[in-house]
Amino acid sequence: MTGDAIWSLRDPAGMSRATLDVRSCRVVMAKGKGNSDVSGKAARRLKALVAAFRAAGADLDFAGETGLVVALNGYDCREDQAPPGVMEAVWARHRAAVEAGRERALASRRGLLTLGVDSQAGDRMAGFYGIP
């Protein structure tokens, strides 16, 4: 459910209204009908996808170039239609997620350094990974 995938929002007649490219629970691309911006109506209907991700234990991050936002309470809309205060909260959550990702990457690099120091080729490994 929460893996990398292309999601398509369709109307009752089966016509595509929005297409989303999801990578690591982050929407990296969102397009509406005919490669246009996602309409406000379609954006509001993405609430079901957001709820499905949350039920699976993951939050879907729309911050970026998508033009869409999801508030902490699950409210989703286009950025230009977001109520006051929602964008600030969304961007704060996005910055926290990015920082947490950086911390995980640093912890992983520290683990590589530890492995390098414990091995006989420690200096070469440390230099190879760009760790001083």
What residue type is 107 in one-letter code? A
Separation of alpha carbons 124 and 130, rounded Å: 10
Q: Is residue 26 a contact partner of residue 61, using CB atoms and an 8 Å limit? A: yes
What is the rounded CA–CA span in Å between residue 101 and residue 47?
Answer: 25
pLDDT number for residue 6: 92
Query: Is the per-residue pLDDT at 7 higher than 80?
Result: yes
Report whether 90 contacts 106 (CB < 8 A): no
- Which residue(s) pair with 20 in the sheet? 7, 30
| DSSP class per residue in 51-102 | HHHHHTT-PPB-TTTSSEEE-TTS-EEEGGGPPTTHHHHHHHHHHHHHHHHH
Q: What is the pLDDT of residue 117?
A: 42
User: Which pLDDT tens digit goes with each residue over 45-75?
Assistant: 888 888 888 899 888 877 667 888 777 777 7
Higher pLDDT, 36 or 88: 36
pLDDT, the chain, mean: 76
